[in-house]
Amino acid sequence: MQHMTATELAEWLARNPQQPQLLDVREPWEFELCHIDGSRLLPLGQLPTGLDALALDPEVPVVVICHHGIRSRHACRLLEHAGFSRVINLSGGVEAWAEQVDPSMPRY
């Protein structure tokens, strides 16, 4: 599992033509309050059974997002066990994104 800071992700999204898949594993109420544009929601508790419905491409990097980076780290392990080899944990989660990249993002 790799780790990436919010600043590194913002730079990647701004410069790289091959965009990663952004997977947010928080709860729906958290996602509605704030999320990174382009991210798709699948709460951590639903990941084992809901992964097929998302149709993620195992060949494209997946950046996993949560509030602070703990749930996303667990989700990364689940994704690796499911055969995803390019899994990246967003260190600090949306809290770091709000602090380092988008100060207008609501925080909780």
Q: Which of 9, 42, 62, 66 is catalytic?
A: 66
Question: Is 30 inside any structural domain?
Answer: yes
CATH code (residue 30): 3.40.250.10
Per-residue pLDDT band for 18 (boundaries 50, 70, 90) equals confident
CA distances from 48 to 10, 81, 84 (A): 28, 10, 13
How many domains are there within the chain?
1
pLDDT for residue 16 = 83
Helices (H), the chain: 6-15, 28-33, 47-54, 70-81, 93-100
66 is catalytic: yes
For residue 25, the enclosing domain spans 2-100
Give the pLDDT confidence of 52-89 residue by residue, as tens digits.
899 999 889 999 999 999 999 999 999 999 999 999 99
